[in-house]
Amino acid sequence: MPNKKIHDKWSAKMELTSEVSNLVNHLSDFPDQSPEFIAFCEQDGVELLLQLLKVREFKLIMKIPKYLQIEFLRRKGSEYVKAWYLHYVLDYIKMAPALTPEDVINRTEAKFGTCVELETVKDFVQANAEEILQDCR
């Protein structure tokens, strides 16, 4: 995964505040060390999980940890969701050197579905693909 400086650089270029970026980066890398996220999971997570488990679709069940993070951040606001998708995509680019940024975005959309925030991240990553690749690889 890219180091914190890389995540901070691209969050700033996307005009996300350091408050948003720091919270999302910490949540993404250390979800078990985020008291606010843990409280969310204990209060609202159970109901969200029960809804997913009722569907009994394995692909959905495998998304549960990330799904809970996105739902938690969606309640904080759109900027937090953008920051989460940016963090996820940068990590994915670093971990999958054979894939292009466009491939990573397409796989992210296939996994999570599309939303306004992911579309914004998609446009941003595509516009900065060459420099992002240099930073992440």
- pLDDT score, position 132: 97
- pLDDT score, position 62: 67
Separation CA 101–CA 75 (nearest Å)? 28
- pLDDT score, position 60: 66
- pLDDT score, position 56: 65
Three-state DSSP state, 73? helix
Paired tokens of 96: 């999958």
Separation CA 120–CA 84 (nearest Å)? 12
Q: How many structural domains are present in the chain?
A: 1
Domain that holds residue 11: 4-136
Q: Which residues, in sequence order, are CB contacts of 74 under 8 Å at separation 6+?
A: 80, 81
- pLDDT score, position 67: 85
Q: Which residue has the tokens 């890219």?
A: 2
- pLDDT score, position 46: 77
pTM for the model stands at 0.89
Kindly give the parts of the chain with pLDDT less than 50. none
- pLDDT score, position 5: 93
- pLDDT score, position 59: 67
Contact 28, 88 (CB under 8 A): yes
Q: Crossing angle, helix 129-136 and helix 116-127, to 10 degrees?
A: 80
